[in-house]
């Protein structure tokens, strides 16, 4: 007759193996997600570049100065008009000098603002779990992963840097902006 402790150990071992298998699968899926997100970001950038090139009224192709970017002439880049300000569910623009934080949707602005406050106070990078606490969110995996996705997107676009895996801080150029303008 098998012992109760022996039966419990068997069940524990089975549960542990299942947990390990699921964890490996989650890691594999997370790695695939990173690759897919990077590819998607590249397509968004490509489409944005094509839109810039093909947008009407940008000047005459025969005029050599017409295709120059404002920054090529020593002028600061144009800031988006208020009507162009990012809406919720918007694409995160690539960071460039002079781009205001208002170009980001509210969720992204909150992340940049909390990291700017930490930078101003001389504090180090934050994990997504710590960010969730700053925003008053429950530290549940879904909320933390949503923040991680946003932080990774901001990192890919040059707004943040990830000095250590899972720890985020403002990029030096972004930190140099006083209040997001």
98 and 142 share a domain?
A: yes
Residue tagged 């779990």 (tokens): 129
CATH number of the domain to which 124 belongs: 1.10.10.10
pLDDT on residue 122: 86
90 and 49 share a domain?
A: no
Residue 178 phi, psi dihedral angles, 5° rounding? -75, -55
pLDDT band, very low/low/confident/very high, at 90 (cuts 50, 70, 90): low
158 and 94 share a domain?
A: yes
161 and 122 share a domain?
A: yes
50 and 112 share a domain?
A: no
Q: Is residue 73 part of a domain?
A: no
155 and 94 share a domain?
A: yes
Q: Which domain holds residue 48?
A: 1-55
Query: H/E element holding 162?
Result: strand 160-164
9-64 residue pLDDT tens: 999 999 999 999 999 998 888 888 888 888 988 888 888 888 888 876 544 444 44
CB 95 within 8 A of CB 101: no
How high is the mean pLDDT of the chain? 79
147-171 residue pLDDT tens: 999 999 999 988 899 998 989 998 8
d(CA 64, CA 56): 17
Q: Which residues pair with 168 in a beta bridge?
A: 126
pLDDT band, very low/low/confident/very high, at 7 (cuts 50, 70, 90): very high
Total number of domains in the chain = 2
Task: Report the predicted TM-score, pTM, of the whole model to 2 decimal places.
Answer: 0.49
């Amino acid at each position: 007759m098998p012992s109760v402790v022996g039966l419990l150990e068997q069940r524990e071992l089975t549960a542990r193996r299942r947990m390990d298998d699921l964890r490996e699968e989650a890691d594999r899926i997370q790695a695939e997600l990173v690759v897919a997100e990077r590819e998607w970001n590249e397509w968004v950038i490509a489409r944005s570049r094509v839109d810039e090139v093909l947008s009407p009224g940008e000047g005459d192709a025969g005029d050599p100065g017409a295709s120059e970017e404002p920054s090529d002439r020593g002028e600061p880049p144009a800031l988006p008009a208020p009507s162009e300000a990012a809406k919720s569910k918007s694409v995160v623009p690539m960071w460039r000098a002079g781009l205001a934080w208002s170009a980001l949707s509210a969720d992204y602005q909150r992340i940049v603002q909390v990291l700017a406050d930490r930078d101003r106070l001389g504090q180090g990078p934050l994990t997504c779990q710590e960010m969730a606490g700053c925003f008053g969110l429950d530290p549940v995996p879904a909320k933390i992963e949503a923040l991680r996705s946003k932080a990774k997107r901001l990192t890919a676009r040059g707004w943040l840097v990830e000095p250590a895996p899972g720890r985020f801080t403002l990029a030096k150029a972004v930190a140099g902006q006083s209040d997001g303008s």
